[in-house]
A = this chain, B = another copy of it.
């Protein structure tokens, strides 16, 4: 058990004045004489007084805590976003409490309820893969609790969101493949319910169309974003009568898994199959060949999400939809066809 820290009461008793006087002295209220103010502040320093956030929270109905829900913690992607959120939060005197939904709809609901019990001032989150209905946010919205989505979003007319230019990026990748002499371009997509999957598929098809290539449903394989499903998807693609000469993975994890499988089958990258990922994590430069990927501004996405939260917390401004720009970082894995 830790002892109770020093409170206004402690100071008041030590100085033989009232609690309210101490409170005012600390905030330099003109009602308190300069000499007393001085004495109070000095003692507060010595005893390292700091206001009790629980009492303040009770009074102001504000905990200065932001709840953050991510589908997974152990990924470069989400860790970096959390880092961005934290940096802004700290700058503005907020704390963040992290919860992980483990890509489960049920857990996502639990986390939400759990954080609301804590009386967080708002929620910044990324939808789980399983989330297909959005009614569990009704209570939040009704209560006026700020909510911000990043990357995987929904209800964008009511809720502020931060996303990247998924469609444009996917289109760019597809056209890049064509420029490198590829004609059979495959896409390992994400879960169909997610906006990121949909938008990247849209960009993929837009790119094909722009280059005069027909869309072949066989070349579009869904995954659950995991390495395992990506490996399976790659096997399926490579087993096709006319296998692809280029693969666009919905994220880097997918691309890494595809890379492993392609190499395992004795094919060369990029000579036989070109490969591009999405996110551009650190390891993209470590693997061989180095992975071409879309640079996803993860840290910036976190910061932006936090800023959108602050915006909502200040006053009821209309929800904004932020779209962050990505950049295609061309490396070895998408070189010329041999």
Contact = CB atoms under 8 A, between A and B. Distances in A.
Interface of A: 1-5, 48, 50, 52-55, 57-58, 61, 63, 65, 73-76, 78-80, 82-83, 86, 90, 95-100, 114, 116-119, 121, 139, 143-146, 227, 256, 259-260, 263, 282-283, 285-288, 316
A50 B117 contact: yes
Given A97-B97, A288-B288, A119 B82 contact: no
B61 A58 contact: no
A315 to B, nearest CB: 8
A191 B316 CA distance: 49
Nearest to A98: B98
A110 B146 CA distance: 28
Q: How many copies does the complex hold?
A: 2
A256 B63 CA distance: 42
Given A73-B79, A286-B287, 19 more contacts: A2-B61, A2-B144, A2-B146, A3-B143, A5-B119, A50-B117, A53-B118, A54-B54, A54-B63, A74-B79, A74-B83, A82-B98, A83-B100, A86-B100, A90-B114, A95-B118, A96-B97, A96-B98, A97-B97
A4 B121 CA distance: 11
A316 B1 CA distance: 8
B288 A263 contact: yes
Contacts of A256: 283, 286
A146 B3 CA distance: 11
A130 to B, nearest CB: 19
Contacts of A79: 73-75, 78-79
Contacts of A285: 260
A54 B121 CA distance: 13
Contact of A86 (B76, B98, B288): B98
A117 B86 CA distance: 17
Given A58-B55, A74-B76, A3 B100 contact: no
B283 A143 contact: no
Nearest to A51: B117
Contacts of A100: 83, 86
12 contacts: A1-B144, A1-B316, A2-B143, A2-B145, A50-B116, A53-B119, A54-B58, A76-B76, A79-B79, A86-B99, A90-B99, A286-B287
Contact of A53 (B117, B227, B287): B117
Closest 7 CB pairs of A and B: A2-B145, A54-B57, A2-B144, A288-B288, A73-B83, A79-B79, A283-B283
Given A2-B144, A96-B98, A256-B283, A52 B288 contact: no
A119 B52 contact: yes
A4 B227 CA distance: 45
